[in-house]
Structure 1
């Protein structure tokens, strides 16, 4: 059945000599994997790999069959053309990192239009942003809302936050309790939107520590979630 869909590319894998398997988050069906036969042929005008850079935003005409694990694409074009996220080395590092996180975190093969819109809008924001060194921190924190483990935004005056329960607490409950600078940053990020990121002033060490805390929070709440391999490159770029 030929249907139309919008998609955000999460990952791609070369298959055999000329084929690609592409994993996408789609507007209509959540996670979908596609096989593109002959996608990496080098003939002029026939190389389709340009469409499948990390987090590219696409319009697809697909031949969708519900019982098939790998779907086919009949036609493809960009739904949004980035101007900087794949050419700016700093933004590119963020995009590669976030694509790996999303590929690891998103599993559902069902429609979630609000999550798709969040990804679409925030990535377009990153493309046009002039100040973005903390973008990935707020992106991940706001992503928790759509994944079902958003930190509560009550009792933020309490001196501890429990990573396991996701709530602020009066007492230190051991290994999962955070305080100090990470707690201060968490409270700050919970109270802002992307347009306010410029007001958050932190150094590379603080950014690194807060990101590690966020990733551990994901590990606690998402079964099978692993720290992205691209984290080291991201940290080096923003050192």
Structure 2
């Protein structure tokens, strides 16, 4: 079946000498893996590896069959060319980090229009603004809504938040409960719109502490989630 769809590139891997395996989140079918034959061949090919940069937004024409693990790309073009996401050092570091997380988190081979629109809209916004050093924090907390693990935000005046249970509590009930300055920091990101990133000034240590809490939340709620390898580079660049 030939399908025309928008796609966000999650990862790519060289396969054998000349081929490429690409993993993408598509608007039509959710997560799809593709075999791009001859991508690194010396012969002329219209489907070049340069298309498949992390989180590139593409328009694909694909040959898709339900009983196949690897599908084929017949045609590709840029849906939207970024002005800074792949060239600005800070933004490109965030892109690599988020692509690694999305590769771990997104599993479903089924369309989710809301999730695709969220990813696409967020990336296009990030591309156009001055570097927002907490964009990845905002993006990850917003992502929880679409992968079914968003925090329960009722009773926000209670003094504890249980990262494992995902809700506010009157009393501490284990090592995953946060309170005091940590809770204030965590509360600052909940429900924050991307445009409001300047409303809660944070120093580098606070940003790193907040990111660690968010990643712990993901580990507690998403099976198989691991600390991203790109986290070390992200921390080095932003600190």
TM-score by length of 1: 0.97
**5+ residue gaps, structure 2:** none
Kindly state the Cα deviation for residue 191 of structure 1 after the two structures are TM-superposed: 3.6
Gaps of 5+ in 1: none
Runs of 4+ in 1 over 6 A off after TM superposition: none
What's the CA shift for 1:209?
1.1
Pair 1:151 & 2:151 matched: yes
Deviates more, 1:125-134 or 1:95-104: 125-134
Q: Give 1:22's aligned residue.
A: 22
Map 1:121-132; keep pairs closer than 5 Å.
121-132=121-132
Change (3 A) 1:172 1:55: same
CA distance in 2, matches of 1:19, 1:140: 32
Q: CA deviation at 1:42?
A: 4.6
Greater shift in the superposed pair: 152-161 or 82-91: 152-161
The equivalent of 2:165 in structure 1 is 165
1:15-164 alignment runs, 5 A limit: 15-42=15-42, 46=46, 48-164=48-164
- Aligned positions of 1:162-201 closer than 5 A: 162-201=162-201
Say if 2:8 is the partner of 1:8.
Answer: yes
What's the offset of the Cα at 1:112? 0.6
CA distance in structure 1 between the aligned counterparts of 2:87 and 2:182, rounded to whole angstroms: 31
1:9–1:55 CA contact under 8 A, matched in 2: yes
Cα deviation for residue 46 of structure 1 reads 4.8
**Superposition TM-score, scaled by structure 2 size:** 0.97
Residues 180-225 of structure 1: per-residue CA shift (max 9 Å, x gap): 3331122121142000001121111111111111111111111111
In the TM superposition, residue 50 of structure 1 has moved relative to its aligned partner by 1.2
Matches of 1:193 and 1:131 in 2, distance apart?
A: 15
Contact 2:38 2:45 in 1 (8 A): no
Q: 1:42 to 1:90 in 2, by over 3 A?
A: farther
Partners of 1:146 and 1:189 lie apart in 2 by: 17
Distance 1:95 1:191 in 2: 22
Structure 1 pair 16/45, CA: closer, same or farther in 2 (3 Å)? closer
Q: Tell me by how many angstroms 1:177 deviates.
A: 0.1
Question: Which secondary structure does the structure 1 equivalent of 2:206 belong to?
Answer: helix
**C-alpha distance in 1 between matches for 2:2 and 2:203:** 50
CA distance in 2, matches of 1:117, 1:47: 25
Q: In 2, are the aligned partners of 1:40 and 1:47 still within 8 Å (CA)?
A: no
